Amino acid sequence: MEVLNKTSGVLTLFLLLLALFAIVSYMVYFYIPSVRGSYTISITAEKPLESVVLELPITEDNRPIYRIKEITCFVKSNGYLREIKPVITSTIDGNPKSILLPITGTGTFNIVGEYVLEEEKLIDYSRYPWTLIVDSKKYEVPVYVERDIMLQVVYIMKENSMILVPSLGILTVLCGGLSVARLFRGLFFQEKVPTAPKKKCTKWYYVCVNFFKIEQGSQTGKQLPKPYIDKLMKLLLNVNETWKKCCIKFIPCIDSKGNIVAKYVNPDRDITYATAGGKIIIGRYKIDFKIVRKLKLKDLFKDPNSTRLEVSESKVNAPYKEKLEATWKKDIEYKGVKYKAGEKIPNEIVNEIVKKGLEVVNKRLGESGLPENEKQRLLKRKKLFEYVLKIIKEENIVKRGEIPVIGALKGIEKLKDDHLSKCINVFIVKEYEDKVEKGEEGGCGEFPGRITIIEEKVIEENISNMLAHEFGHNLGLDHVPPNPQKPNLMETPVKGNNLTKKQCKKAFENCMKDKRKHFSEKTCHEGLKYLRKLELFREIEKLKKENKEIDKQVKKLRKSKEEVDKQIEDLKEQIKSEEKMLKKEKALLKKVSSTAKRAERYKDIIRTKKGRRKRYAEKSLDRMESMLEKDIERLKGKLEKAIKRNREKEAKELEKKIGEKETLLEAVRDPEATLKKYSEKVKALEEEIGKLKEKLKEYESKAPELKNKIDNKIKELRNKLNNNKNRINKLEKEIKELG
């Protein structure tokens, strides 16, 4: 035991050193640290700003100093803080060199931002300030970089790599050699350690799910029939079985009446969804607008019965109407009427304002000597105004175009309650096909997002992997190449249900990020209870089934234990009867032998002697034969009578006697052959008895061990049975507690 501990101690030390060596080598040679920094700029512009560019310094030999991987920018002006997207306009070695900050207008701008840098070595950035170029005027921008303790340790390691890495390497090799040597000396024994219990989820992620079945003639919002919901829940349980490894659970949503959200949707429903939006500022009028499309759900379907959804790259060509919806951005007065911010603006008013705006723009465009960028800006405005006017004008015209199905499904009216935006929504259609993106059969999932479309057959045939796959898309997982050994859930077509750690991490992160998928007590808590109950029922059913099977096995084992004894008894019985037979055969052989010997003697005399002795021998032999023949004749007569009188026992006895006499007669007629025949018979019988006795011995020696084994197996099964029963009790208690 002492030796064993020492060896595993050395082995542990070796593994630790190996890990340390790997980490240090990685840090020194491969790890490129990244640091965070910030910058602040303040500019005042009297004239409208045209271009604000950050220039980053480079080394004399044209190498980047700042390897910026991410940069953010916030601008505060007129009391508003907004985020703008910096645009990289030139790069060096793949790193930004000039960054355009899209800021326009006049006034004071306070600009702050953060960036992430990659550093190969320690650099004193205070020596390399940035340059800000505002409309060709230059300013210096100081930069600040933070480095934490970890990073400082990394730099110390990098600086001392010449000593650190080789010495750690030598130490690791020495330690490895020592543990290998111990291993080979046979001192390293370890019993097979029972496999550790599978990692349990410390934190579960719950995702709420709604189900909607699109069916002609149905009533939108009406609950699906109970058996259908049962099927859905069964499917969901199987989906959860697959997603268990990622610690993600899909939970049915519950509506305000406490019903599971598994409802009908009538294809006659209207759909409205926004396609674009923005703001228009004309003089003092500030308008927010949205362009809203309106169509019928059934127009997305290929057939009049709304059963077949046929898409090309997730789009369907369908008729629709387009409408502008505008609201005031600020409290305002227009033609003597006061409006509040956010209030709807009638389209005639929008029309009037935009028309006036367009006139102004057109007039400005007519002026000569306009700077190029001003001209571009005006042209952009003109385009927007014309577009808005066109939408207003064509409000009642039915148009046709490509409708993104997933976007449209989000706009089904009457389903727009809270749940739709807080859950994953599964739409069930009879048939679904993407004419362009083949391979995915039976469904489609928004990537990433909250809409999944599946075919009816997925539910009818409980193809849980299909739904689990679409949920994968919803949680941000893309397709993966096929892996025949371990088919992944995200392969297409779907073959297996494996998920890698990386995929789990990605899906989990998607859940964490997308607040709209957040499980909420209000929408899902009851669903969690409901699903848990189903899970419990299912487990109980499984355990009960298992127990039935165990019962059967125990019965079988008991029977086989009885059979062990019975086999021995049977063998003993067989030996007894064979021994009895042997005794009889031996008695017969004795008679045959004496008769045969006498007959042989007479035959010898007949062959070798003459005269009186020969004649005497012939006579005696004849007499032997005829006496036996007579005996047989007499016995046969008796047998006939016994048969006639139905005396079975007597008849049997007589038959036996006749047989014996016939054997003796045979011995008189052919003494040598008959004697040989009957001795061989006895010998064979003796051999067989010997074999049977050996078999018995073997059985008797093995029986206790065998019975013991069976007893142990029965004990084991009984334990399992009891464990199962306890577990069932526990589960039933939990069901009761759930109410």
d(CA 443, CA 429): 9
Looking at the Cβ atoms of 474 and 523, the one nearer to Zn ion is 474
Contact segment (CB under 5 A) with Zn ion among 114-122, 282-290, 323-331, 438-446 equals 438-446
Report the residue number whose CB is nearest to Zn ion.
440
The one-letter amino acid code at 241 reads E
Residues 49-78 that bind Zn ion (CB under 5 A): none
Sorted by sequence, the CB contacts under 8 Å of residue 169 that are 6+ apart come out as 21
SS3 track for 98-110: EEECCCCEEEEEE
Contact segment (CB under 5 A) with Zn ion among 359-367, 436-444, 547-555, 589-597 equals 436-444
The minimum distance between CB 734 and Zn ion, in angstroms, equals 36
The minimum distance between CB 440 and Zn ion, in angstroms, equals 5
Provide the CA 168 distance to its chain's centre, in angstroms: 42
Looking at the Cβ atoms of 423 and 489, the one nearer to Zn ion is 489
> Which CA distances in Å does 539 have to 533, 721, 731?
10, 15, 8
The minimum distance between CB 257 and Zn ion, in angstroms, equals 34
- Asked if 446 interacts with Zn ion (CB under 5 A), we say no
**454: number of Cβ within 10 Å:** 23
Residues 151-210 that bind Zn ion (CB under 5 A): none
Looking at the Cβ atoms of 290 and 479, the one nearer to Zn ion is 479
Residues 222-281 that bind Zn ion (CB under 5 A): none
Q: How many residues bind Zn ion (CB under 5 A)?
A: 2
297, two tokens = 């759900």
Contact segment (CB under 5 A) with Zn ion among 67-75, 108-116, 435-443, 654-662 equals 435-443
Contact segment (CB under 5 A) with Zn ion among 180-188, 389-397, 433-441, 632-640 equals 433-441
Looking at the Cβ atoms of 434 and 440, the one nearer to Zn ion is 440
- Asked if 440 interacts with Zn ion (CB under 5 A), we say yes
**395: number of Cβ within 10 Å:** 12
Greatest Cα pair distance, the chain, in angstroms, is 172
Looking at the Cβ atoms of 447 and 537, the one nearer to Zn ion is 447
Q: Note if the bond before 493 is cis, omega within 30 degrees.
A: yes
The minimum distance between CB 441 and Zn ion, in angstroms, equals 10
Looking at the Cβ atoms of 347 and 492, the one nearer to Zn ion is 492
- Asked if 322 interacts with Zn ion (CB under 5 A), we say no
Looking at the Cβ atoms of 215 and 440, the one nearer to Zn ion is 440
The minimum distance between CB 492 and Zn ion, in angstroms, equals 5
The answer to whether the beta carbons of residues 474 and 448 sit under 8 Å apart is yes
The minimum distance between CB 447 and Zn ion, in angstroms, equals 8
The minimum distance between CB 479 and Zn ion, in angstroms, equals 6
Residues 468-507 that bind Zn ion (CB under 5 A): 492
Sign of CA dihedral 16, 22, 27, 28: positive
Q: Which of 95, 112, 33, 100 has the alpha carbon at shortest distance from 58?
A: 95
Sign of CA dihedral 295, 296, 297, 302: negative
The minimum distance between CB 159 and Zn ion, in angstroms, equals 50
d(CA 568, CA 453): 68
Looking at the Cβ atoms of 447 and 699, the one nearer to Zn ion is 447
Looking at the Cβ atoms of 54 and 468, the one nearer to Zn ion is 468
Looking at the Cβ atoms of 220 and 510, the one nearer to Zn ion is 510
**H/E element, 426:** strand 424-429
The minimum distance between CB 117 and Zn ion, in angstroms, equals 38
Q: Which ranges of 609-670 does DSSP label H, i.e. alpha helix?
A: 611-644, 648-669
Looking at the Cβ atoms of 235 and 253, the one nearer to Zn ion is 235
Looking at the Cβ atoms of 216 and 492, the one nearer to Zn ion is 492
Contact segment (CB under 5 A) with Zn ion among 70-78, 88-96, 321-329, 439-447 equals 439-447
Scan for tokens 């571009």, then name that residue: 376
The minimum distance between CB 4 and Zn ion, in angstroms, equals 52
Phi, psi (degrees; rounded to nearest 5) at 192: -60, 120
The minimum distance between CB 490 and Zn ion, in angstroms, equals 7
d(CA 452, CA 426): 5
Looking at the Cβ atoms of 441 and 650, the one nearer to Zn ion is 441
Looking at the Cβ atoms of 255 and 440, the one nearer to Zn ion is 440
Q: Helix, strand, or coil here: 586?
A: helix
517, two tokens = 């998928």
The answer to whether the beta carbons of residues 112 and 55 sit under 8 Å apart is no
The answer to whether the beta carbons of residues 285 and 410 sit under 8 Å apart is no
> Which CA distances in Å does 9 have to 1, 127, 196?
12, 51, 21
Q: Which of 128, 147, 166 has the alpha carbon at shortest distance from 21?
A: 166
Report the C-alpha dihedral over residues 253, 255, 260, 265, rounded to 10 degrees.
-100
d(CA 61, CA 40): 28
Contact segment (CB under 5 A) with Zn ion among 418-426, 434-442, 506-514, 707-715 equals 434-442
* Strand pairing class (137-141; 344-345): unpaired
The minimum distance between CB 469 and Zn ion, in angstroms, equals 6
Residue count of the chain, please give it. Answer: 739
The minimum distance between CB 491 and Zn ion, in angstroms, equals 9
d(CA 605, CA 612): 11
d(CA 373, CA 396): 37
Looking at the Cβ atoms of 440 and 526, the one nearer to Zn ion is 440
Contact segment (CB under 5 A) with Zn ion among 65-73, 353-361, 432-440, 508-516 equals 432-440
Contact segment (CB under 5 A) with Zn ion among 239-247, 377-385, 440-448, 548-556 equals 440-448
77 exposure class (CB count in 10 Å sphere: 0-12, 13-18, 19+): middle
Looking at the Cβ atoms of 203 and 502, the one nearer to Zn ion is 502
**H/E element, 132:** strand 130-134
d(CA 735, CA 732): 5
The minimum distance between CB 129 and Zn ion, in angstroms, equals 50
The minimum distance between CB 514 and Zn ion, in angstroms, equals 19
The minimum distance between CB 435 and Zn ion, in angstroms, equals 16
> What residues make contact with Zn ion under the rule CB under 5 A?
440, 492
